[in-house]
Amino acid sequence: MQRLCCFPGALITKLTLFAVAILSLAACATAPVQEMSDARQAIRSAEAAGAAQRSLHSLSAAQRLLREAQAHLEAGAYGDARRSALDARDEAIKAREQAAQGIEVRPVPP
């Protein structure tokens, strides 16, 4: 009788873990709409701050990463699209900060 008492608790625990796993997978399977929007806004902000003149390397990298994110999105690779969009946003923020400080940053030749 005691075994039957513990069984519902174990079943609930397993079902909860299963639900968490499904929700985690579903989060990865959705289009990264917010991340794409954030990256676009960050790039526009960097351009407005003068990154095209003061931080062209970082701005160009952000634009390239956004194009990659768009290509991944169109291919249905939402995880890759999300990562590229987040990287694009970070690179654009870096470009904006450099432009705002008035620092002209050029890439170091290899």
Asked if residue 19 and residue 61 are part of one domain, the reply reads no
Asked if residue 11 and residue 43 are part of one domain, the reply reads no
Asked if residue 51 and residue 24 are part of one domain, the reply reads no
pLDDT per position as a tens digit, 2-40 = 454 555 666 677 777 777 666 655 555 689 999 999 999
Asked if residue 37 and residue 13 are part of one domain, the reply reads no
Residue 34 CA to residue 62 CA, distance in Å, equals 16
Residue 61 CA to residue 30 CA, distance in Å, equals 25
Instruction: Count CB neighbours of 17 within 10 A.
Output: 10
Residue 85 CA to residue 71 CA, distance in Å, equals 11
pLDDT per position as a tens digit, 79-89 = 999 999 999 99
The alpha-helical segments, DSSP class H, found in the chain are 2-29, 33-48, 51-54, 56-75, 78-100
Asked if residue 75 and residue 65 are part of one domain, the reply reads yes
Q: What's the whole-model pTM score? A: 0.69
Enclosing domain of residue 24: 1-30
